[in-house]
């Protein structure tokens, strides 16, 4: 008989889930807000995912609003049998053929948030649903492959409305709303040129790693979600103080965190069955699909768009992490996202351009190259670099480099600073900017137009660039002289002599001449 009670309770709960949508009598009143997107706005949504002012306000409201029980209401209580069932990490509740891979609890807090999303924030929430069509297939695939519940993707809905442009009042950025410290801790690059918190690919991998760690530390996906919002330390201390592993029993957490899991459950319920909660005929955007190519030199996004034969808005939307509309200066083979199916067009068009034309928009009304003026070359300073090291890398005089950038001393150099390198194209050649992409064998590929020749090979972001035939090598993070000597089959002493190096110290970004 004792085993029958939990089963009967669970059955009653599932039956309740299959009833009409819950509507509480104390929900907020409806509000008239901005209309849903027009056809002309749809392109901006999919490629720029810009938030409307109303959406920004509503996201801020979602973060700060807390559930207030009605007068004389008692705290929600769960039957002991149901509580035991839901405490099991593998509990999966299904109703009306809709599956959930996180436990679904329906109580006053969750019902209140269902009302809130369905009535007060209806128009903004519908826009979040529209935008979800573009990103949810990718997010669910990544979560599933990593062994996480697919429904954790709805964290991005309540965090950002699936927008890369979302910024919180506290400085959290991107679809997964990473703070700078946490983003860097999980491998995201954040500087004046690149903010990978806005890159769906990189940010999603960081979020997966973070949620995985939170689940390992706290023991359930409810608590992992709470830790994602309020910090694992605060949630862990509350668990110890309250002597519980049940999220619903925690008292020592902020109100925002107490409401975070109910928000997630409510958003998940609505998003998976929108018609059930009054969202009919949602015009979901088509899934966004992209491929990653690399550009050998710093390139304007308009150049990349022209080469890929797509609107520049599309390239900007696929690369929202490039904050200044171009790939960072002084970085070889930088990965860029382009629409799926455009790799061949990009390869043919991009490498047909002269190197100098890849920096700026070829369609812009600029003076033609070759008029005697030197094209400036820029270098993004990294931590630990020195004026002498950078000057040696580009083959220029250190004093000349300092004069060109109004540097009074070595101490004036700072991480993230952009230096102008005197010497134009000559300095670019010193850095080893290739004219064409390297093939797997490390030799410059023949023209793609030549009959019977192979297409140029585009290195993917995760692949290691092969040594180039120019016999120069740009030092990457973590490399040593010994590793470089083995790569090229050249003694370490020969590399030292060729580059005037004493000892084993080399700098990230330094270009070494490799003797034949």
Residue 49: per-residue pLDDT: 65
Question: Nearest-CA neighbor of 390 among 374, 376, 378, 408?
Answer: 378
Residue 508: per-residue pLDDT: 64
Residue 216: per-residue pLDDT: 94
Question: Nearest-CA neighbor of 290 among 226, 351, 343, 225?
Answer: 343
d(CA 375, CA 216): 53
CB atoms inside a 10 Å sphere around CB 169: 8
Give the list of residues 6+ apart from residue 108 with CB closer than 8 angstroms, or none: 24, 67, 69, 73, 76
**Contact (CB, 8 A) for 323 and 192:** yes
CB atoms inside a 10 Å sphere around CB 227: 24
Domain residue ranges in the chain: 4-179+235-277
CA-based angle 382:329:184, to the nearest 5?
45
**Contact (CB, 8 A) for 491 and 485:** yes
**Contact (CB, 8 A) for 375 and 389:** no
Question: Nearest-CA neighbor of 509 among 379, 333, 378?
Answer: 379
Structure confidence by residue, pLDDT tens digits, 414-454: 766 777 777 644 444 444 333 333 323 333 333 333 333 33
Give the list of residues 6+ apart from residue 71 with CB closer than 8 angstroms, or none: none
| 40: enclosing H helix or E strand | helix 39-47
| HEC secondary structure over 99-144 | ECCCCCCCCHHHHHHHHHHHHHCHHHHHHHHHHHHHHHHHHHHHHH
- Dihedrals phi, psi of 61, to nearest 5 degrees: -65, -40
- Dihedrals phi, psi of 234, to nearest 5 degrees: -65, -45
Question: Nearest-CA neighbor of 108 among 158, 55, 139, 67?
Answer: 67
CB atoms inside a 10 Å sphere around CB 283: 13
**Contact (CB, 8 A) for 420 and 426:** no
Model's pTM, two decimal places?
0.62
Spans of the chain, pLDDT less than 50: 1-48, 75-98, 362-375, 424-470
Residue 219, SS3 per DSSP: coil
């Amino acid at each position: 008989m004792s085993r029958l009670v939990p089963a009967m309770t669970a059955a009653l709960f599932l039956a309740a889930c299959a009833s009409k949508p819950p509507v509480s009598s104390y929900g907020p009143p409806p509000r008239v807000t901005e209309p849903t997107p027009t056809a002309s706005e749809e392109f901006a949504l999919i490629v720029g995912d810009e938030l409307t002012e109303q959406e920004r306000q509503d996201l801020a409201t979602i973060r700060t609003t807390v559930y207030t029980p009605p007068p004389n209401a008692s705290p929600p209580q769960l039957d002991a049998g149901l509580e035991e069932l839901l405490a099991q990490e593998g509990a999966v509740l299904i109703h009306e053929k809709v599956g959930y891979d996180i436990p679904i609890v329906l109580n006053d807090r969750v019902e209140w948030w269902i009302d809130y999303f369905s009535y007060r924030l209806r128009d903004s929430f519908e826009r979040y649903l529209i935008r979800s069509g573009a990103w949810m297939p990718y997010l669910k695939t990544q979560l599933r492959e990593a062994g996480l519940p697919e429904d954790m993707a709805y964290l991005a809905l309540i965090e950002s409305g699936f927008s890369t442009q979302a910024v919180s009042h506290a400085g959290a950025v991107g679809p997964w709303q990473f703070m700078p410290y946490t983003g860097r801790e999980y491998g995201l690059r954040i500087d004046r040129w690149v903010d990978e918190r806005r890159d769906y690919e990189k940010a999603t991998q960081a979020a997966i790693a973070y949620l995985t760690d939170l689940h390992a530390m706290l023991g359930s996906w409810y608590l992992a979600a709470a830790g994602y919002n309020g910090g694992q330390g605060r949630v862990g201390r509350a668990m110890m103080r309250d002597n519980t592993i049940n999220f619903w029993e925690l008292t020592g957490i902020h109100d925002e965190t107490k409401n975070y899991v109910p928000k997630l459950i409510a958003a998940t319920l609505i998003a998976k069955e929108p018609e059930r909660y009054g969202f009919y005929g949602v015009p979901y955007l088509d899934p966004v699909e992209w491929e990653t190519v690399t550009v050998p030199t710093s390139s304007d996004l308009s150049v990349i768009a022209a080469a890929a034969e797509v609107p520049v808005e599309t390239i900007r939307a696929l690369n929202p992490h490039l904050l200044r509309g171009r790939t960072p200066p002084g970085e070889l083979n930088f990965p860029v996202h382009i629409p799926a199916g455009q790799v061949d067009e990009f390869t043919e068009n991009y490498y047909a351009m002269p190197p100098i034309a890849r920096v700026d928009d070829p369609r812009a009304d600029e003076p033609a190259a070759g008029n005697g003026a030197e094209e400036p070359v820029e270098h993004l300073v990294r931590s630990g670099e020195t004026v002498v090291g950078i000057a040696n890398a580009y083959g220029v005089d250190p004093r000349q480099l300092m004069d060109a950038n109004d540097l009074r001393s070595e101490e004036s150099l700072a991480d993230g600073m952009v230096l102008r390198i005197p010497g134009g194209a000559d300095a670019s050649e010193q850095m080893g900017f290739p004219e064409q992409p390297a093939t797997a064998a490390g030799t410059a590929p023949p023209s793609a137009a030549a009959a019977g020749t192979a297409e140029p090979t585009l290195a993917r972001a995760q692949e290691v660039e092969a040594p180039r035939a120019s016999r120069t090598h740009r030092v990457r993070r973590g490399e040593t002289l010994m590793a470089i000597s083995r790569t090229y089959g050249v003694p370490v002493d020969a590399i030292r002599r060729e580059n005037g190096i004493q000892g084993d110290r080399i700098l990230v970004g330094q270009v070494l001449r490799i003797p034949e």
